Structure 1
Amino acid sequence: MTTDTAPGDMPEPPRKRTADEKRQMKSAARLYAVQALFQMEAAGMAVDRVRVEFENHRFGAVYEGEEMAEGDPALFRRLLDDAVMWQAKIDQMTDRALVAAWPIDRIDPTLRALFRAAGAELITPATPPKVVINEFVDVARAFFPEGKEAKFVNAVLDHMAREARPEAF
């Protein structure tokens, strides 16, 4: 068996990521999951198509000189898959956390996508609820820099977390 590459031409193994880089990749995956869920709803796209688009064209891509963050693909996939699989349960949890006059179908579609992504992470024990809440409040700030939505997201996610994982409080 022959190869076309000389020993010195072998690609270097990927370097170990620091804890801070891993944290940033998880944060980016959460942001991308919200964007993907929004896109799925707005454009009526299937989860597989959106997943491929994001992983191939958004993670680490450069647009107009700005590099997009590298996302954690495993977390991104898990959030999308769980949000789709458990959407009815997550939407019911969100409805119970919202004021009765504002069911989930009446809230901003970006917030709806955010609650679905956060709900997907809250229903699994992989991440402490307080971390999930803080991370998605930061995502809300990225979409709504005015700040009032971040407080709303914090309150709704706190209620959802207490319902999904009461043992954590």
Structure 2
Amino acid sequence: MKPQSKARAAARLAAVQALYQLDMEGTRMATLLDEFHRHRLGAEIEGDQYADAEVAFFDDIVKGVDARRDEIDGLLSQRLAEGWKLERLDKTMLQILRAGAWELMARADVPTPSAISEYVDVAHAFFEAREAKFVNGVLDAVAKAVR
């Protein structure tokens, strides 16, 4: 994997974690970004070395999802199976879908297959194959709607 690809993959994973924290704890954006910049991105935590993330890309995802959350949630809601609501989704899963949807909406510089595959990879970090397939299906439907 090229260094930029690796740095972006790390940024995506960290962004999902930051969005989860934002959703669960309501941390102020400036505080949240500062905490991740200083303590998480490229840091070693409890013996785990975190890959150097592309900080500007990380910030872009976190701020972008936060700014367009209602629009993103509407887009995602329309692509869930009949009877499913965003509230029923696992909180981490919801952040993966939000970040992926935002990237498909806002980052035309990232090819559709790359964006989808990257968030499927993020899903694999937290879930089994079935959930990763779910991410693939939802983000594919989002991509068809926004690209």
- Normalising by the smaller structure, the TM-score range is over 0.9
The unaligned stretches of length 5 or more in structure 2 are none
**Partner Cα separation in structure 1 for residue 47 and residue 33 of structure 2:** 24
Matched, 1:112 2:94: yes
4+ runs deviating over 3 angstroms: none
CA RMSD in angstroms, aligned pairs only: 1.1
Structure exhibiting the larger radius of gyration computed from Cα positions: 1
Alignment of 1:115-130 (within 5 A): 115-124=97-106, 125-130=108-113
Task: State the Cα deviation string for residues 136-160 of structure 1 (Å, max 9, x = none).
Answer: 000000111x211000000000001
2:118 matched to 1:143? no
Paired position in structure 1 for 2:137: 155
Distance 1:118 1:138 in 2: 11
Counterpart in 2 of 1:30? 12
**Percent of aligned pairs with the same amino acid:** 38
Q: How far apart are 1:97 and its partner, in Å?
A: 0.9
Amino acid at match of 1:62: E
Question: What is the rounded CA distance, in whole Å, between the counterparts of 1:47 and 1:115 in structure 2?
Answer: 20
- Alpha-carbon deviations, 1:67-88, whole Å to 9, x = none? 1111100110110111011111
Question: TM-score with structure 1 length normalisation?
Answer: 0.83
The equivalent residue for 2:79 is 97
Question: More helix by proportion, 1 or 2?
Answer: 2
2:53 is the counterpart of 1:71: yes
Provide the C-alpha distance between the structure 1 equivalents of 2:123 and 2:110, rounded to a whole number of angstroms: 19
The higher-RCO structure (CA 8 Å, 6+ apart) is 2
Q: Aligned partners of 2:77, 2:30: CA distance in 1, in Å?
A: 27
Find the aligned partners of 1:100 and 1:46 in 2 and give their Cα distance: 34
